[in-house]
Amino acid sequence: MAMAMPQANISLQGEVPRTLSVFRVELSCTGRLDSEVTILMQLNLTINSSKNITVLNFKRRKMCYRKLEPEVKSPISDKNSSKAIFDPVNAAPTTSTRVFYISVGVCCAVIFLVAIILAVLHLHSMKRIELDDSISDSSSSQGLSQPSTQTTQYLRADTPNNATPVTSYPTLRIEKNDLKSVTLMEAKAKVKDIAISRERITLKDVLQEGTFGRIFHGILIEEKDPSKEKQVFVKTVKDQASEVQVTMMLTESCKLRGLHHRNLLPITHVYIEEGEKPMVLLPYMNWGNLKLFLRQCKLVEANNPQAISQQDLVHMAIQIACGMSYLARREVIHKDLAARNCV
């Protein structure tokens, strides 16, 4: 069809107007094809009697043309009636568009909520790692009595056979432990902020000696009060050590720098002057390493069977495990865990 069904705005109910009024007939083309449409409008007029009927015929022509898209019809309002023509086909795209935007909004809200939950869980896990050391130490020690030696086992690499208790250590900043090979200048730059002068260090006996390294029993003079001294371990290299060995000693010793745990022996100071052998200072412990301590306890067992108990051994093992667990969380591998390296 070239033209749609005519639509008039005349109400089918109500009274006939008694005054001059206007009505409208809408003649809309469908846009489906090109055609000339003949329109016949017939009006029946009844005057005084129903038998006296006057018929009026109005003829006209209208050209309809084909369109690419069909014409969108708007609802025809009726002044005398509250009814209007509604096209559900034209309303469908609007409804589907609303559903699409609502779906996109819901998906974005869900993604945002999941991201917030993951961020909160990540922050909670980071705080839990920081507090895990104290929690694990207290929970692991429940049910165990204090060792009869009343000492705390500290863990570090290449520990000598002698040591003294230290109650406080200088605060050091925590940094990411770099396990890659570095030059001697880079290794010195990493520990420059804890470097001290040679005049404050006094070397005494050699406690342990390796292939290219030595550990001395030393004395450190306090910077603020030169009259005060404290005992330290001084780790250095031999005269025939190469630059690679010097760099290795300095970097390996400083991997524990900035890590604070009750079962780790920290680095306190370094000496890194140009042209001199570098020195690494650690707190002095007078009980010796764990291997020597256990041998001495075994010799005493003949005269004193209660010198060291099974609970003491378990408590020592728990302290070592706590120290290694802390290192693992800080991405540090000890590589040589043994009784000789525990003090």
Of 33, 39, 31, the C-alpha closest to 6 is 39
- In DSSP notation, 16-82 reads PPSS-----EE--B-SSS-EEEEEEEEEEEE-SSTT-EEEEEEEEEEEE---SSPPPPPP-EETTEE
Closest CA to 340 of 212, 234, 215, 238: 215
The answer to whether 247 and 138 have CB atoms below 8 angstroms apart is no
Tokens 């005992």 belong to: 231
Report strand pairing: 201-209 vs 213-221: antiparallel
Classify residue 254 by its DSSP letter. Answer: G
Amino acid at position 27, single letter: L
Q: What is the CB neighbour count within 10 angstroms for residue 311?
A: 14
Could you give the angle at the alpha carbon of 141 between the alpha carbons of 135 and 143, nearest 5°? Answer: 130
> What is the DSSP secondary-structure string of 108-144?
HHHHHHHHHHHHHHHHHHHHHHHHHHHHHHHHHTTT-
CA distance 231 to 149: 21
Alpha-carbon distance of 293 to 159, in angstroms, equals: 13
**Catalytic residue check, 225:** no
Rounded-to-integer distance, Cα 237 and Cα 174, Å: 26
The amino acid that residue 121 corresponds to is L
DSSP element (H, E) containing 282:
strand 279-283
Rounded CA-CA distance 79/77 in Å is 6
What residues act catalytically?
336
